[in-house]
Amino acid sequence: MDRRKFFRLIGAGSLLGLLKAKAQGSPWREETFAPLRGLGTPLQEYGTRSPFEEEVIRYISPGLRTRHSGASFAPLEKLDGVLTPNGLFFERHHAGAPQVDPEHYRLVIHGMVERPLAFTLEDLKRFPSVTRTYFIECAGNGQNGYRNPPDPELTATRSRGLASNASWTGVPLALLLKEAGVKPGARWLIPEGMDPAAYTRSLPLEKGMEDVLVAYGQNGEALRPEQGYPVRLVVPGWEGSIQVKWLRRILVTDLPAMAKDETSEYTDLMADGRVLAFTWIMEPQSILTYPSGLQRIQPGFHEIRGLAWSGFGRVRRVEVSFDEGRSWRRAALEGPVEPLAFVRFKLPWYWDGREVVLWSRAWDEKGHTQPTREEFFRRWGRNNRYHYNAIQAWRILPDGRVVNGDRPLEGASLPPATAGGCGGEVLDV
Ligand SMILES: Nc1nc2c(c(=O)[nH]1)N[C@H]1C(S)=C(S)[C@@H](COP(=O)(O)O)O[C@H]1N2
Ligand SMILES: [Mo]
């Protein structure tokens, strides 16, 4: 839409608003200007949000049946900006979030090093610190897209809410490794968590030396227990499952651990039955948050809004289609566009009240984009449950209701239920 047309639309909209206000009587209502009675809330040592906002909550997946090994989704369509508030950051744990006393906390680095070391939390905070914004996304994000026929009740939360974005503060892992002195021949790091799951992964030393953070801060305060208090790994752009929380040790070694957490889970079953392991990088992703599933809109002007990100680097552009991919319009990205972090995109739009399907797709600086649902399933068969980044479609019905616009896949039933998974609700295991 060109600029002039856009402002004409806005102008028409505000004129309409004025006429409406007139029809309903004066907009200067007494309640608006009467002084509030009594005193307000006294000073608080730790603030709480307005009670009127209390329905903005994480969505806890019933799919894994327990609140200790499951996932809760961030309510993406109810948030503004790009930072996910700490109380709404998605969660995924395998055995609940332990409460760790920072007094007794130690991070041990051992194995193929000159000097095995144990750091207290205070030690870690004495190192030069770095604060960077990065997304974390569970490899199981998007899993609800596997459902066939598609779930009519899908929301943006349940479609892509196993991802969140925060400003992380910590020490570059490279500094700690230098302090310990990595021996020649070492190639792998085996980080381990202190939760009852003894959660363990294998991380290439090269990535560990590049940009991994040993993080203790999240959006300006200490990590939340759910995010790994007091210390977690932040592994920029890579799947959430490798970002070990409640980090207690890192073994430096020459071989990967092939731990349960990277063999029984977080491997990708391909169409031909073979399995890909160690698929760490998160492909480009985008989700329209407005309009999105279960919202209701009126004909007239709307700012289409959404979030995009990619594990390959910066998001270069986001496009929106109103005709299921035949043509695309470029959305504006709200800067600064940081690499490996959420980006907000926006597009002015006038809805004429006719049924329409909206798509969005992100392109990153390496030229990757998102497949359609059909393309995704052609590539993977219906076996894989991870790294689903197919375009999410939203259908606007003539009455303004927004529903899942994904089309049923021909001749397909529900994918077979297998053990594992990451909070997807398709799973019934
Ligand atoms: N120690 C430990 N670390 C863990 C996990 C866990 O269960 N235990 N879950 C992993 C998975 S699968 C994901 S997606 C991310 C989720 O991070 P979040 O809960 O902070 O969103 O943590 C990862 N780190
Ligand atoms: Mo995950």
The predicted-structure confidence for 256-281, as pLDDT tens digits, reads as follows 999 999 998 899 888 888 889 999 99
Two structure tokens written together for 216: 């203790």
Closest to 131 measured CA to CA, from 345, 309, 341, 344 = 341
Q: Which of the ligands is closest to the CA of residue 163?
A: 1
| Residues whose CB falls within 8 Å of the CB of residue 287, separated by 6 or more in sequence, listed in order | 76, 156, 159, 160, 306, 307, 308, 360, 392
Helical residues (DSSP H) of 268-395, grouped into ranges = 373-380
Q: How confident is the model at residue 1 (pLDDT cuts 50, 70, 90)?
A: very low
* Ligand 1 atom at minimal distance to the Cα of residue 226: 19
pLDDT at 38 over 50: yes
What's the CA-to-centroid distance between 10 and ligand 1, angstroms? 44
Burial per residue of 161-199, b for 16 or more beta-carbon CB atoms within 10 angstroms, e otherwise: bbbbbbbbbbbbbbebbebbebeeebebbbbbbbbebeb
CATH class of 86-259+266-273: alpha beta
Residue 428, pLDDT above cutoff 60: no
Report the separation in Å between the CA atom of 378 and the middle of ligand 1, taken as the mean of its atom positions.
30
| Distance between Cα 405 and ligand 2 center (Å) | 26
Q: Which residues of 55-73 are buried (b: 16+ CB within 10 A; e: fewer)?
A: eeebbebebbeeeeebbbb
Atom of ligand 1 nearest to the CA of 228: 20
CA of 303 to the centre of ligand 1 (A): 34
Q: Please, which pLDDT band fits residue 21 given cuts at 50, 70 and 90? A: low
pTM of the model: 0.91
Note the pLDDT of residue 383: 76
**Residue 73: pLDDT over 90:** yes
The CATH number of 285-418, from 2.40.50.420, 3.40.50.720, 2.10.10.90, 2.60.40.650, is 2.60.40.650
- Each residue of 391-401: pLDDT tens digit? 999 999 999 99
| pLDDT tier for residue 301 given thresholds of 50, 70 and 90 | very high
CB under 6 Å to ligand 1: residues?
Answer: 89-94, 136, 138, 193, 195, 197, 199, 226-227, 240-241, 243-246, 422
pLDDT reading at 377 higher than 90: no
Instruction: For residue 90, give Cα distances in angstroms to 55, 117, 228, 389, 397.
Output: 16, 32, 12, 18, 30
Q: For all residues of the chain together, what is the average pLDDT?
A: 90
Supply the residue whose CA is at minimum distance from atom 11 of ligand 1: 241
Largest CA distance in the chain: 80
**Domain ranges across the chain:** 86-259+266-273, 285-418
For 158-211, write each residue's pLDDT tens digit.
999 999 999 999 999 999 999 999 999 999 999 999 999 899 999 999 999 999
Question: Closest ligand to 93 CA?
Answer: 1
Which residue's CA is the nearest one to ligand 1's atom 15? 240
Q: Which ligand is nearest to the CA of 261?
A: 1
Span from the CA of 140 to the centroid of ligand 2 (angstroms)? 6
Best probe residue, ligand 1, of 243, 249, 285 (max atoms within 8 Å of C-beta): 243
